Amino acid sequence: MAEVSKEEIERKVAAGEKLDRADLRGAQLGGAKLAGASLRRCDFEGANLESANLQKVVLKNASLREAYLAGADLRDANLDGADLEGANLQKANLAGANLGRANLEGADLTGANLRTAKLAHAQLDSANLGGADLTAADLSRCDLVECYLGGVKASKANFSGANLEEANLEEGDFADASFDDAQLPSIGATAASFARANFLKADLSNANLVRANFGGADLRKANLERAKLDQTVLTGARIAGIQTKDAALGAIVMDWADVSPDDDGSKRAQGEAAMAALTGKTADVGARPKNVRYFGAGDVLRFAALEFDAGASVEIESRFEQCSIAIGEGTELIVGSEGVLAGCSIKGGGHITIHGQFFEGDKGPGIVGPRRVVVTTGGVLVGSVAQGDDPTMFGFEPGSRLRMKITRSTNGRRSE
């Protein structure tokens, strides 16, 4: 047991003395000011370091097993190879800290700040990270088996090659995070956000992905066999080579998906074609359905009146000027990312998806009676949309640009 007092330790640290290899087991160091101290290989097992100032301390290979570090300030500390098994780090500030190869098995990191922390190869199995901030942290090749990551903020975090088997990620924010080659079998990820995250070749078999958001995520060659998906968002996800054998696919939100194998955005699929790509039931997912009209990039149409039958699929990558377009019930009209409809009008009960740009003409409303209008990231809609007798379904992705008025049907329907 340690017999030195807190004051004595603080005095030694202030004097610049090294305390490497010191035996401080069970020491009462709550609130101690030890910033910048050299504490390599020290033994703090069971010590109380609550709210201590440990900024930039060097605790390489130190033992902090079962230590009480709640609220401690460990910013930029070096804990490389430290043993923190069972330690209490609730609300500790570990921003920028080096925890590479550290043992945090069963540690309590609830509400801790781990922004930009380096945790590569660390052991975090059965640790509790509920509500922690892991923004831009490096957790590559970490062991996170059965770890609790509920409600974490982990945008831009790196989980490449990590093992998260049976971890709980419910309601966490993992936007733009990397999970490539990660092991995530049997994870619980209800209502988690994985927008634009990278799951290339990741194993998500048996995962519970109900209400999770994979919008824009890279799921190429990911394994989702026997996973459960219901109310799961996959719009804009890259799904070439995804494996969903025996997956429980409930209601999936997937207005479109990128099915190009080389991640070049060359092939987009919608509706049934997108679902076929997800389930692997159609070999040629890039094939266009029957009754399809395509207007390629570089073409310019002016003053044209175009009419498309019900059920047709129309994709416009061209520039249309002063054109009027009539679409039948259920017609899919897609303005591709290169497409521009300037001074145009669209009438009819079809489904309109705008990746490019739509500008209405002088005589509004530019869009009349659509069943559905979706403007994706980067899409532009300038004009009025007059809803039909049945209200229009609208979808707007973040990054869409809108100057629009939505009006009701002129047939007297009122909801108030």
Partner 1 sequence: MSDMEKKTLVEEGTEFKGSLTSKCPVEVRGRIDGDLNAPSLHVSTSGAVSGKVYVGQLVSQGEIAGEFDADSIQLSGTVKDNTVIRAKTLEVRLTPPSGNKMQVIFGEVALDVGDAPRDAASAGGKKKKTDEKEKDGKSVPPPGE
Footprint of partner 1 on 294-313 (CB under 8 A): 294-296, 299, 301-306
Q: Which residues contact 131 (CB under 8 A, 6 or more apart)?
A: 110, 111, 150, 151, 152
Shortest distance, CB of residue 384 to partner 1, whole angstroms? 9
User: Applying CB under 8 A, does 391 fall inside the site for partner 1?
Assistant: yes
Residue whose CB is less far from partner 1, 140 or 232: 232
Count the residues in the chain. 416
Q: Which residues contact 318 (CB under 8 A, 6 or more apart)?
A: 295, 296, 297, 298, 299, 300, 301, 338, 339, 340
Residue whose CB is less far from partner 1, 16 or 411: 411
3-class SS at 28? strand
Amino acid (one-letter) located at 386: A
Shortest distance, CB of residue 338 to partner 1, whole angstroms? 12
User: Applying CB under 8 A, does 14 fall inside the site for partner 1?
Assistant: no
| Cis? peptide before 365, omega within 30° of 0 | yes
User: Applying CB under 8 A, does 179 fall inside the site for partner 1?
Assistant: no
User: Applying CB under 8 A, does 265 fall inside the site for partner 1?
Assistant: no
- Distance linking the first and last C-alpha atoms of the chain: 74
Phi, psi of 126 (to 5 degrees): 65, 10
Shortest distance, CB of residue 155 to partner 1, whole angstroms? 14
Q: Quick check: 65 and 49 in contact, CB under 8 A?
A: no
User: Applying CB under 8 A, does 227 fall inside the site for partner 1?
Assistant: no
Neighbours of 385 (CB within 10 A): 23
User: Applying CB under 8 A, does 322 fall inside the site for partner 1?
Assistant: yes
By rule CB under 8 A, what string of x and - marks binding of each residue 115-154 to partner 1?
A: ----------------x-------------------x---
Shortest distance, CB of residue 108 to partner 1, whole angstroms? 15
144, 149, 154, 157: CA torsion to nearest 10: 0
User: Applying CB under 8 A, does 11 fall inside the site for partner 1?
Assistant: no
User: Applying CB under 8 A, does 367 fall inside the site for partner 1?
Assistant: no
User: Applying CB under 8 A, does 409 fall inside the site for partner 1?
Assistant: no
What token pair was written down for 75?
């910013």
Shortest distance, CB of residue 22 to partner 1, whole angstroms? 35
Amino acid (one-letter) located at 154: A
C-alpha span between 330 and 183 (Å, rounded):
41
What token pair was written down for 298?
């570089």
Shortest distance, CB of residue 363 to partner 1, whole angstroms? 12
Residue whose CB is less far from partner 1, 40 or 196: 196
Nearest to 187 by CA among 143, 215, 149: 149
Q: Which residue has 């020290």 as its token pair?
A: 42
By rule CB under 8 A, what string of x and - marks binding of each residue 231-250 to partner 1?
A: x-x----------------x
Q: Is the four-CA dihedral 396, 398, 401, 402 of positive or negative sign?
A: positive
| Residues forming the site for partner 1 (CB under 8 A) | 111, 131, 151, 171, 230-231, 233, 250-255, 271, 275, 293-296, 299, 301-306, 319, 321-322, 340, 342-343, 357, 359, 362, 372, 374, 380, 382, 387, 391-408, 415-416
